Structure 1
Amino acid sequence: MKRVGIWVNQDVVMSSVTGVMDFFTFCNKYWQLIQQSDQQLFETVLMGPQQRLQQGPFTIEVEPVDVNQIDMLLIPGFYAYNSNDLQRVSQELLPYKAELQQMLQQGKWLGAFCNGTFALAGTGLLNGLQSTSVWFFKDYFRQMFPQVKLDLQQLVVQQQTILTGGATTSYLNLCLRFVELFMDTAFAQQMAKIMLTDPNRTSQLPYLSLQLAPQHKDAKLAEIQQYLQAHLAEPVSLEQLAETFAITPRTLIRRFKQHLDETPMAYLQRLRIERAKSLLENTLWTAEEIMQQVGYEDISSFRKLFVHYTSLTPKAYRQKFMFEPQINCCPVSDPERESAA
């Protein structure tokens, strides 16, 4: 039996804790069903610096951190959504760095998902390794942990005996990976079906959005961003953009890199793809019609660019994200009609 420790503190996202606990309980129940036995594959235990936590209606009993008693320590997500909060999270595990190093030396596993990856990266144990993290905090992550090779294309990244996962519900795919490593692929596939989880959900790229881009106080840059947003369908060059706003191309590039971590033309390209995504989600326009609305002329080039940014074709993206009204999904009963019948 594998014992999985789940790190908890006062700011932990409760669903990311109970979700992990439920996942491994389902594994046990399914195993007992097919084996007709009482054997358990996994046991979960809550560990952290406090003995008892109170969060809303929940009171949580917490054990002291003891890495000798577990085979894996999993760091979930926390309610931390700005630079100061993430800095605090990054210090969370520092007092336990020696114990975590000991786990890795013994071949035990460490896992983190959502902004719990900030806590793990803060120990330095991810330095020189690949890791994924929360896509909408990617700029914070790169600034805080330049020695970590951030890879947002993957939903789960394995490096040695360390697993990192992307935002929010990526814990399902991270736990599936651990189950596959501990059991086998067939068992993990069956658990994916039981949990209604797509085992082939391997990338965060389809979910990336500019709506959660970093904020800044550069008024001129904000004006340029608004201009680009309003001229997506028109040809725009770096030189023309600089001339329009009476600044040099070099200064323009510098300000974009400083505040948005990309060049003006790369930013424009992402704006166009974001607009294309929105049109795919909210209209029935063809890919060719959408292409023209966002400033492209060649459908083949547009499709390749769209796949590069989202890992999906335009058609696949629409199928995945377009909301379709579910007619008669929840019929309301009519008392008068029922009584008449």
Structure 2
Amino acid sequence: MAVVVLEGAKPLDVGIPAQVFATRASMPYSVEVCGVNPGLISGSDGLSYHVEHGLDALDDVDLIFLPGYQRPNVEPPPEALLEALRVAHARGARIAAISTGAFALAATGLLNGRRATTHWHYSRILAEQFPEVRVDERVLFVDEGSVLTSAGAASGIDLCLHILRQEAGMAAANHAARRLVAAPYRSGGQAQYVPQSVPEPHGERFTRTREWVLGRLSEPLSIEALAENAVVSPRTFARRFRDETGYTPMQWVMRARVDRARELLEESDLGVDEISAEVGLGTATNLRRYFRRVLGTTPSEYRRAFSRDSERTSDDHLG
């Protein structure tokens, strides 16, 4: 994958994908940092970047990140970059923009007719400058398949982990989240900011309740039990939990169960019946149904794609 540094690039926006996908034994990626031309690039916040590669670095990468940059609505990106992005997209590369990087991606025309987001401060400007793009200012990130966009820097982490889950599996994404000390899962549909009326002096309000749930996925769980753990009423819990995560409580529980099942399929020899019981979905039929609904695939196909041991992929073993 490649990170393209533009004039005025924001340090966090450059650093997040470079660090999440860092070249290391635990990651199936190699990372190139490039510019329109090699050499020194002036960034924002008093920082500059010295990049070794120009746009030729995009010739054979599978994933391209466009970090946010200053004054995106004042001067269009160089045409050489826009054409390189169009060529890379045409041969199958995915392109992901963080924050105001969405302006560079929109300038290629690849977002026309598609949903996209950017930092809330620039969302109206993006919509006015590119009227063919369906700008959604409410969400953390948008996945349109071959083109992806995210809001501010922190949501860039969410987008990176989302891509990792898709391409490298749950174990790699969770490993990266632990390395970054980041939340392993936030919905792209979550609001960019929580209403001020929700008091939260110490980070996300229901973090402890979510951790409590993750330790009890094999048990029956209800919204009443979750609310009791959070010491609020079920109605208040449901409303504030959705503000915080982008999911209803029981949608989140179901997704957590599927994600745990994904990890077990990747890293254990357990059959589908055993995994279903372990994650609280009851039967293999339930697990297959939820896998199809959430991931569009089956447990056996998922294990075949992401298991570290190809011998675990036989349908007979899965039952």
Same fold (TM over 0.5): yes
Which residue pairs with 2:119 in the alignment? 134
Q: How far off is 1:70 after superposition?
A: 2.3
Q: Which amino acid aligns with 1:141?
A: L
Which residue pairs with 1:162 in the alignment? 147
Q: Residue 200 of structure 1 aligns to a residue in which SS?
A: coil
Cα distance in 1 between the residues matched to 2:109 and 2:47: 35
Cα contact 1:93–1:123 (8 A) shared by 2: no
- 1:125 equivalent to 2:107? Answer no
Q: Which has the larger radius of gyration?
A: 1
Q: How far off is 1:105 after superposition?
A: 1.9
Which residue pairs with 1:61 in the alignment? 51
Which residue pairs with 1:106 in the alignment? 91
Q: How far off is 1:302 after superposition?
A: 9.1
Q: How far off is 1:167 after superposition?
A: 1.0
Q: 1:138 to 1:301 in 2, by over 3 A?
A: farther
Q: 1:192 aligns with which of 157, 160, 177?
A: 177
Cα distance in 1 between the residues matched to 2:132 and 2:241: 28
- 1:51 equivalent to 2:39? Answer yes
Q: Which amino acid aligns with 1:10?
A: E
Which residue pairs with 1:15 in the alignment? 12
Cα contact 2:34–2:51 (8 A) shared by 1: yes
Cα contact 1:53–1:62 (8 A) shared by 2: no
Cα contact 1:9–1:49 (8 A) shared by 2: no
Identity of aligned residues (%): 20
Cα distance in 2 between the residues matched to 1:312 and 1:74: 24
Provide TM-score, normalisation by structure 2: 0.57
The alignment's C-alpha RMSD in Å is 3.3
Cα distance in 2 between the residues matched to 1:130 and 1:45: 27
Cα contact 2:117–2:136 (8 A) shared by 1: yes
Q: 2:65 aligns with which of 51, 57, 74?
A: 74
1:121-270 to 2 correspondences below 5 Å: 121-203=106-188, 205-208=190-193
Q: Which amino acid aligns with 2:74?
A: R
Q: Which runs of 5+ in 2 are unaligned?
A: 202-232, 248-319
Q: 1:203 to 1:110 in 2, by over 3 A?
A: closer
Q: Residue 42 of structure 1 aligns to a residue in which SS?
A: coil
Q: Which amino acid aligns with 1:63?
A: H
Q: How far off is 1:113 after superposition?
A: 0.8
Q: Residue 54 of structure 2 aligns to a residue in which SS?
A: coil
Cα contact 2:13–2:98 (8 A) shared by 1: no
Q: Which amino acid aligns with 1:60?
A: H
List, as ranges, runs of 4+ consecutive aligned residues in structure 1 with deviation greater than 6 Å: 299-313
- 1:88 equivalent to 2:79? Answer no
Q: Which runs of 5+ in 1 are unaligned?
A: 32-39, 210-272, 283-298, 314-341
Cα distance in 2 between the residues matched to 1:162 and 1:306: 31
Q: Residue 30 of structure 1 aligns to a residue in which SS?
A: coil
Cα contact 1:94–1:122 (8 A) shared by 2: no
Provide TM-score, normalisation by structure 1: 0.53
Q: How far off is 1:29 after superposition?
A: 4.1
Q: How far off is 1:205 after superposition?
A: 4.9
Q: Residue 2 of structure 2 aligns to a residue in which SS?
A: strand
